[in-house]
């Protein structure tokens, strides 16, 4: 029997700008004991859907019905809903730091859960809380019971959240992006923990994530959402092998993890529609590679296949381009042509340390970089990989000359950074450019795109007026932006477009080196692929040298010639990309690769047959 059965759920959220259609006619069934995955990019409505079902969005209007163990959650009184929350359905949220109350001890936050639903003594509650804390892998739970959330690391906090969700042993747990805020190696542990716990206790888990790869290894069934619509639903083994919906196929194709290195990704063009005015036909139609005329005008029908897969699409037999298509392997530039190649960066024994003490106290010395040796050759892309806090971003800034190293030497395009005077330093700014992670943060919200991209020209007095405008428009064209939009503000562009603006700015002065600091981490997969492709084509065209910083090994592997793996301020491994990937020598590298791989459930896919079609307008 299905533990959760959602039928035709629609959600509308009134806002100042209009009504947001966060979900439209979404139905799904979660069987007891399974791990049900809900995947989708930001804005797909996946989180809103579950929160609305739980009654956590008081502003939203919800239609349809959601049966939990036979009772319609949407019809329950507030009191009945409260009895279910926590006791019957546990929740785990994305950011474990902000999701725990900073002023209460973690112990009291867990016992509060127990006292809310059960009439037990304080000592009993404490015992149970300590017990569950131990089970989720908190060392010395007895002592940590009275600790505050800020005294834990991110991974440990998420364990506390899991303990809190599990303590009453609810039959269903909803995990909303439980690992997104965590490092890959920790991610792996948390996913493992959730999986163990559900097997041990027979708990049903609904896992919401933007990371399709994550679901491929653990989910039994997967639902793919897009712009509030359920695009595809089916068993995960067939869904990943043979997606029935073009959107799912597109998502899989955009992910660098599924690709041969050096080849171009096949991104989904365009960007998601506004939820204020969803298109009348298929929501995905404008971006779909299998677009037909009927898609734009009429809501697609629901196709049900014999293997349990369902897709909301006008196509009868799944997308025309198979998901497993591999584009031709581009002739990757020969990377190890020997030492004669020109070096853009030569770094020797670079060290950086901060004093953490205050003005009066002599505090501890914090060694951020502990002896880095690095060469970057002209025309190559060097990937710098590591988890948060390993010093990779700091290293990038040291190499760019923005932060002086405490010890060691950095030579940039033949000049030692330490020896530059102020004017030379300014001149050096033209040779090295940075592209930042957050396309929202790296563009001044109060300035027009023309002045943002034209900033390098202004700062270095290169051109002005009309000449400058033309240069800016040329740059916008180069990175695939409409040059007519030069007068707009950054807020009027989407995330991917903003990252293009950042790249255009970096290109303005024909630099020798561009440093990308997590350039695609804040972007959705389909947009990520667009930006990565742009970077590659620009590099080929303009013979650029890239230093590419990322925490995501699959992205780095896709774009880089060589990879340097960083851990705790050191480079632990540096070799050709494929070499690092295939035969990692350092144990840390192995852990990283291990953690970022998601082995797919194996099994054969039988020929799929369409067994039923429900017209879209009727649903």
Partner 1 sequence: MSATNTETGFPQAGAVVQRGPLELTLRRLARDRASLAALGFIILLVMFALCAPLIEGATGHSAIEQYRTTGLSEMGLPVVPNSEFVLGTDHLGRDVLVRLAYGARISLLVGVLASLAAALIGLTVGMIAGYVGGATDTVLSRVMDLVMSVPFLLCALALVSVFGPSLGLSVGVIVFFSWTTMGRVIRAEVNSLRKREFVEASRSLGAGPVSIMLRDILPNLSVPIIIYTTMMIPSAIVFEATLSFLGLGIVPPTPSWGGMLADAAANSVYLVAWWLVIFPGTALLLTTLSFNILGDGLRDALDPKARPIRLVKKVRKADKA
Partner 2 sequence: MINFILKRLGFAALILVVLSAFVFFLFFVAPGDPARMIAGDKATETQLVQIRTNLGLDRPIHEQYVSFVGKALQGDLGFSYRNQQPVTKLIINRIPATISLVIGGVIFWLVIGIPVGIMSARHPGSIRDRVGQGFILLGLSFPTFVLGMLSLYVLYFLPKQAGFTLFPAGGYKSFTKDPLIWAWYLFLPWTTLALVTAAIYARLTRGHLLQVMGEDYIRTARAKGLSERKVLFKHGLRSTLTPLVTQLGADIALLLGGAIVIEQVYGLQGVGALAVQAVKNQDRPIIIGVVLLGGFFIVITNIIVDLLYAVLDPRVS
> 108 or 497, CB closer to partner 1?
497
In the list partner 2, partner 1, none, the entry touching 497 (Cβ below 5 to 8 angstroms by class) is: partner 1
Question: Which residue lies nearer to partner 2 by CB, 97 or 463?
Answer: 97
- If the CB atoms of residues 100 and 593 are measured against partner 2, the closer one turns out to be 100
Binding range to partner 2, per CB under 8 A, among 79-87, 272-280, 414-422, 580-588: 79-87
Given the DSSP bridges, would you call strands 302-305 and 310-312 parallel, antiparallel or unpaired? Answer: antiparallel
Q: Which residue has 């240069």 as its token pair?
A: 471
Decide: is 362 part of the binding site for partner 2 (CB under 8 A): no
- Pair 84, 73: CB distance under 8 Å: yes
- Minimal distance in Å, beta carbon 227 to partner 2? 24
Instruction: Tell whether residue 14 is a contact of partner 1 (CB under 8 A).
Output: yes
Least distance CB 11 / partner 1 (angstroms): 11
Query: Rounded distance, CA 418 to CA 420, Å?
Result: 6
The string of DSSP letters for 380-429 reads -EEEEE--TTSSHHHHHHHHHTSS--SEEEEEETTEEGGG--HHHHHHHH
Q: Which residues contact 146 (CB under 8 A, 6 or more apart)?
A: 105, 107
By CB under 8 A, the residues from 147 to 206 that bind partner 2 are: 148, 150, 161, 164
Q: Does 59 bind partner 1 (CB under 8 A)?
A: yes
**Considering CB distances under 5 to 8 angstroms, the limit depending on partner class, which of partner 2, partner 1, none binds residue 164?**
partner 2
Specify which residues 184 forms β-bridges with: none
215 touches 37 (CB < 8 A): yes
Strand partners of residue 91 = 174
Which residue is it, tokens 């307008």?
617
122-135 helix and 106-117 helix, angle to the nearest 10 degrees = 120
Site string for partner 1, 247-276 (x = CB under 8 A): ----------------------xxx-xxxx
What is the per-residue binding string for partner 1 in 391-430, x denoting contact by CB under 8 A?
Answer: ---------x-x----------------------xx--xx
Residue 341 within binding range of partner 2, rule CB under 8 A:
no
Site membership for partner 1, residue 98 (CB under 8 A): no
Which of partner 2, partner 1, none does residue 56 bind (CB under 5 to 8 Å by kind)? partner 2
Q: What are phi and psi of 416, to 5 degrees?
A: -75, 125
Nearest of 523, 484, 395, 253 to residue 503 by alpha carbon? 523
Q: Is 112 in the site for partner 2 (CB under 8 A)?
A: yes
Polymer length in residues for the chain: 619
Taking CB under 8 A as the criterion, the residue among 31, 65, 112, 124 binding partner 1 is 65
DSSP state at residue 24: E
Query: Which residues make beta-bridge pairs with 348?
Result: 409
CB of 359 to partner 2, least distance (A): 10
| Nearest distance, CB of residue 107 and partner 2, angstroms | 13
Residue 297: exposure state from Cβ atoms within 10 A (0-12, 13-18, ≥19): exposed
99 in contact with partner 2 (CB under 8 A): yes
**Could you say which of partner 2, partner 1, none residue 93 binds, taking C-beta under 5 to 8 angstroms by partner kind?**
partner 2
Read out DSSP for 133-165?
A: HHHTT-SSHHHHTT--GGGS-HHHHHHHHHHHH
Instruction: State in angstroms the smallest separation of the CB of 113 from partner 2.
Output: 5
The listed partner (partner 1, partner 2, none) that binds 107, CB under 5 to 8 Å by sort, is none
**565/237 Cα distance (integer angstroms):** 32
- Candidates 16-24, 149-157, 372-380, 381-389: pick the segment binding partner 1 (CB under 8 A): 16-24
* Shortest reach from residue 100's CB to partner 1, in Å: 23
Query: What single-letter DSSP state applies at residue 2?
Result: E
Measured distance CA(289)–CA(391) in Å, rounded? 41
> Would strands 343-355 and 407-412 be described as parallel, antiparallel, or unpaired?
antiparallel
Residue whose CB is less far from partner 2, 99 or 290? 99
Contact between 24 and 229 under an 8 Å Cβ cutoff? The reply is yes
- Structure token digits, residue 70: 């036979």
Subset of 343-372 contacting partner 1 (CB under 8 A): 359
Among 2, 97, 120, 296, binds partner 1 (CB under 8 A): 296
| Nearest residue (CB) to partner 1, 129 versus 544 | 544
- DSSP letter assigned to residue 486: G
Q: Which residues bind partner 2 (CB under 8 A)?
A: 51, 54, 56, 78, 82-87, 90-91, 93, 95, 98-105, 112-113, 116-117, 148, 150, 161, 164, 361
Q: Which residues bind partner 1 (CB under 8 A)?
A: 8, 12, 14-17, 19, 59, 61-65, 72, 75, 269-271, 273-279, 283, 285-286, 291, 296, 359, 400, 402, 425-426, 429-430, 432-434, 436-438, 441-447, 455-456, 459-460, 480-482, 485, 488-489, 491-492, 494, 497, 502, 505, 530, 534
């Amino acid at each position: 029997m299905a533990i959760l059965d959602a039928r035709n759920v629609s959600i509308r959220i009134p806002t100042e700008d209009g009504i947001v259609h966060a979900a439209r006619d979404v139905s799904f069934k979660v069987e007891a004991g399974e791990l049900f995955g809900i995947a989708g990019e930001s804005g797909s409505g996946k989180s809103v859907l579950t929160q609305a079902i739980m009654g956590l969005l008081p502003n939203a209007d919800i239609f349809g019905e959601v049966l939990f163990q036979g009772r319609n959650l949407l019809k329950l009184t507030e009191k009945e809903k409260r009895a279910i929350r926590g006791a019957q359905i546990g929740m785990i949220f994305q950011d474990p730091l902000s999701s725990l109350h900073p002023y209460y001890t973690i112990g009291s936050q867990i016992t509060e859960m127990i006292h809310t639903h059960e009439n037990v003594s304080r000592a009993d509650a404490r015992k149970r809380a300590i017990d569950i804390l131990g089970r989720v892998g908190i060392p010395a739970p007895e002592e940590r019971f009275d600790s505050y959330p800020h005294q834990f690391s991110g991974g440990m906090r998420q364990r506390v959240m899991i303990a809190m969700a599990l303590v009453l042993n609810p039959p269903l747990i909803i995990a909303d992006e439980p690992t997104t805020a965590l490092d890959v190696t920790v991610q792996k542990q948390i996913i493992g923990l959730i999986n163990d716990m559900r097997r041990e206790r027979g708990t049903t888990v609904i896992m919401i994530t933007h990371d399709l790869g994550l679901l491929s290894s653990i989910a039994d069934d997967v639902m793919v959402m897009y712009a509030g619509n359920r695009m595809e639903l089916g068993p995960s083994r067939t869904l990943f092998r043979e997606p029935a919906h073009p959107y799912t196929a597109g998502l899989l194709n955009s992910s660098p993890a599924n690709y041969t290195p050096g080849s171009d990704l096949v991104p989904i063009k365009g960007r998601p529609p506004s939820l204020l005015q969803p298109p009348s036909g298929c929501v995905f139609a404008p971006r779909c590679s299998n677009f037909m005329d009927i898609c734009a005008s009429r809501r697609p029908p629901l196709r049900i296949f014999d293997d349990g897969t369902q897709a909301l699409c006008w196509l009868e037999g799944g997308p025309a381009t198979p998901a497993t298509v591999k584009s031709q392997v581009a002739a990757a530039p020969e990377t190890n042509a020997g030492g004669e190649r020109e070096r853009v960066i030569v770094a020797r024994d670079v060290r950086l340390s901060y004093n953490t003490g205050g003005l009066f106290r002599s505090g501890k010395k914090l060694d951020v970089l502990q002896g880095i040796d690095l060469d970057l050759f002209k025309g190559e892309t060097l990937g710098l990989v590591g988890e948060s806090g390993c010093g990779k971003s700091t290293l990038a800034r040291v190499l760019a000359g923005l932060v002086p190293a405490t010890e060691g030497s950095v030579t940039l395009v033949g000049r030692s950074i330490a020896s530059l005077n102020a004017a030379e330093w300014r001149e050096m700014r033209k040779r090295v450019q940075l592209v930042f992670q957050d396309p929202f943060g790296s563009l001044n919200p109060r300035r027009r795109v023309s002045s943002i991209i034209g900033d390098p020209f202004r700062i270095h007095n290169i051109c002005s007026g009309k000449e400058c405008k033309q240069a800016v428009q040329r740059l916008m064209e180069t990175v695939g932006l409409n040059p007519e939009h030069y007068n707009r503000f950054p807020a009027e562009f989407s995330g991917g477009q903003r990252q293009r603006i950042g790249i255009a700015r970096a290109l303005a002065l024909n630099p020798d080196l561009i440093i990308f600091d997590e350039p695609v981490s804040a972007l959705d997969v389909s947009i990520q692929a667009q930006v990565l492709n742009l970077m590659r084509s620009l590099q080929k065209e303009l013979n650029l040298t890239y230093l590419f910083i990322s925490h995501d090994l699959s992205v780095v592997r896709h774009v880089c010639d060589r990879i340097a793996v960083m851990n705790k301020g050191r480079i632990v491994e540096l070799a050709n990309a494929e070499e690092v990937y295939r035969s990692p020598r350092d144990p840390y590298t192995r852990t990283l690769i291990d953690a970022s791989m998601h082995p797919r459930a194996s099994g054969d896919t039988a020929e799929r047959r369409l067994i039923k079609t429900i017209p879209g307008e009727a649903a």
